[in-house]
Structure 1
Amino acid sequence: MGLNLDEQKAVDRFRQQVAEPSMTKLVILDFWAEWCGPCKALTPVLEKVAAEYADKGVLLAKVNVDEEQFIASQFQVRSIPTVYALFQGQPVADLTSARSESQLRAVLDQLLEKLPVQAGDAPATDLAPLLAMGEEVLASGDGERAAGIFAQIIDMAPDNAEAHGGLVRGLVMAGHLEEAEAALAEMDPALSTDPWVERARAALSLAKDRPDDSELAALRAAAAERPADMDAQFAFAAAAFAAGERDTAADTLLAMISADRDWNEGAAKAKLLQMFEAIGLEDPWVSATRRKLSTILFG
């Protein structure tokens, strides 16, 4: 189809998270961005109504237009918020003008009368709060506790890719790299290409670069003494990130990209993108650093 790697990944994510569920469910597709005030006002409305209609076969999917520009372009999104209803992979209604709960309910009721949407399954445990809790604990830096939370979720939902990815990231944060590798190896192969699992795999790969204090000090000194030595800069950036110094790592890689973006077949940019994937594209630090990268590449 002539897609580059990033575009193909975007298509795969959309297929897994939106298109495939829409084969049997009615998906509310919300295009939004962090900087969009009206989007933030609309989000609680969409989330509340989608939760109310979950047992009728309604799901909510959100697409950040800054992170998924290719998908937004395919839907010809010109302004945000833009909200569509999708069924069997196709838009069946524009919900953008439905800004209140009552308006949204009215449109959904009409669609559900006309479309053969499969109602929700029998009541099951709502995993969203548990997953959110795990992410919050990860963000606080408690890898051990986070791994425990995600392990419990896996017991309840063995095919939940987000939980599997969270378990691996928790183990990595706690320094249990061998256990993290084992968790990836034991995972259902069907989950291996899920974005949550890819994120965890990237986190593990980066964590393997973690040096001890003396090694980090030596790499730091070498990078300071030889600012034009790309190999020294790259080695220090990888070690600094693994040691938790992500600002230092990013600044080093950005300086390398600014000096010679093609060095070693674009290795500095590739390493920075791997860091973004490991942390998560929704993370504020990633968003800020991506803007710095864009300024260097396109400014």
Structure 2
Amino acid sequence: MIDILGGAGDNAPAGDLIKDVTEATFMQDVVDASMQAPVIVDFWAPWCGPCKTLGPALEAAVTKAKGAVTMAKIDVDQNQRLVQALAQQGLPLQSIPTVVAFVQGRPIDMFQGAVAPSEIDAFIKRAIEAGGGSADGGLGEAVEMAEQMLAEGNIADAAQTFAAVIGEDDKNAAAYSGLARAHVAMGDLDQAEAVLNGAPAEISTAAEIEAAHAQIALARQAENAGPVAELRAKVDANPDDLQARFDLAQALHAAGDAEAAVEELLALFRKDREWNDGAAKAQLFTIFDALKPNDPIVLNGRRKLSSMIFA
């Protein structure tokens, strides 16, 4: 952060989303414009070292928001009277860079100095949400719509929508997960795995991606699952046949009864938690990962498993 001193320099790039703003255009390009969408105002100067780092990072973040916000760049040297007027109204503009978010004609958030890209993204997200908009340009709503399609069995359209979201945001973990699960629903497990393998490394451990991996693993197990009735009879005949109980749990899950599958795995864990290198616990976690975290089957299953582990 640098104290404001004298100096002169070139104008910053202008455009529909990012504009050079002066005292003459401030009302139109900041105050009035912020009635429609938040405006991020960057107070800078060409001699300011931190400004040279922060400015491009801000521009990249605003561009990524795809019109949910705009950006106004104000050269403090060329607009000293405007800066003084804003300072008199309470904005702390004694040093630069200073970045202020305007929403509905007034400043609602600000920071000073160069900050990390993650902090810039969080700042812009807060501004968008304060303006009543969506921080992801509507992609979240598109993912929700695709999830609804998938739940209703409209698999092809769901897959197409998930793919479109990925085309707009190639780091959208929810979209990769949804597209993979759509392929699972189509019975194309290899393609489902290919989708997840194509996800960027930085989102490969996201909860949504892990959930899709778990669903693929369970779907592959289902291809080889035995008949529930025969396995149930086998377990009833010999409750200590742990392999039969494990196979029964897989068959129950393949038949769509996740709750019963969890109960069988808990019973197996209770009998011998170390059986087959802890296979019961590993299978339980696979089922839990495949379901939503707040699913009652997950909540009850985790509670019962924890009570056995820590008993």
1:208/1:242 contact within 8 Å kept: no
* Aligned Cα root-mean-square deviation (Å): 3.5
1:243 paired residue among 255, 258, 261: 255
TM-score of the aligned structures, taking structure 2 as reference length: 0.54
1:269 aligns with 2:260: no
2:187 paired residue among 163, 175, 180: 175
2:229 and 2:223 map into 1 onto residues whose CA distance is 9
- Quote how far apart the aligned CAs of 1:263 are: 1.8
1:278 paired residue among 286, 290, 296: 290
Report the structure number with the largest CA radius of gyration.
Answer: 2
2:208 and 2:39 map into 1 onto residues whose CA distance is 23
1:192 paired residue among 204, 211, 214: 204
- Partner of residue 219, structure 1: 231
2:39 and 2:233 map into 1 onto residues whose CA distance is 56
2:184/2:192 contact within 8 Å kept: yes
Q: Identify unmatched segments of 5+ residues in structure 2.
A: 1-36, 42-57, 62-106, 129-134
- Partner of residue 295, structure 1: 307
- Quote how far apart the aligned CAs of 1:125 are: 2.3
- Quote how far apart the aligned CAs of 1:154 are: 1.4
2:258/2:297 contact within 8 Å kept: no
- More helix per residue: 1
- Quote how far apart the aligned CAs of 1:213 are: 8.3
Q: Matched residue of 1:293: which SS?
A: helix
- Partner of residue 256, structure 1: 268
- Partner of residue 155, structure 1: 167
1:223/1:232 contact within 8 Å kept: yes
Q: Is the alpha carbon distance of 1:276 and 1:225 closer, same or farther for their aligned partners in structure 2, counting shifts above 3 Å? A: same
Letter in 1 for 2:291: I
2:180/2:196 contact within 8 Å kept: yes
- Quote how far apart the aligned CAs of 1:231 are: 0.7
2:231/2:248 contact within 8 Å kept: yes
Q: Identify unmatched segments of 5+ residues in structure 1.
A: 1-51, 59-107
Letter in 2 for 1:251: E
Q: Is the alpha carbon distance of 1:247 and 1:168 closer, same or farther for their aligned partners in structure 2, counting shifts above 3 Å? A: same
- Quote how far apart the aligned CAs of 1:232 are: 0.8
- Quote how far apart the aligned CAs of 1:258 are: 1.7
Letter in 2 for 1:158: D
TM-score of the aligned structures, taking structure 1 as reference length: 0.55
Letter in 1 for 2:295: D
- Quote how far apart the aligned CAs of 1:260 are: 1.9
Aligned residues: 199
Instruction: Spell out, residue by residue over 1:62-94, the C-alpha distance to the aligned partner (whole angstroms, 9 max, x if none).
Output: xxxxxxxxxxxxxxxxxxxxxxxxxxxxxxxxx
Letter in 1 for 2:180: V
- Quote how far apart the aligned CAs of 1:249 are: 0.6
Residue pairs, 1:105-124, within 5 angstroms: 109=108, 112-114=110-112, 116=115, 118=120, 120=124
2:225/2:254 contact within 8 Å kept: no
2:267 and 2:238 map into 1 onto residues whose CA distance is 13
- Quote how far apart the aligned CAs of 1:206 are: 1.1
2:203 and 2:176 map into 1 onto residues whose CA distance is 9
1:176 and 1:260 map into 2 onto residues whose CA distance is 35
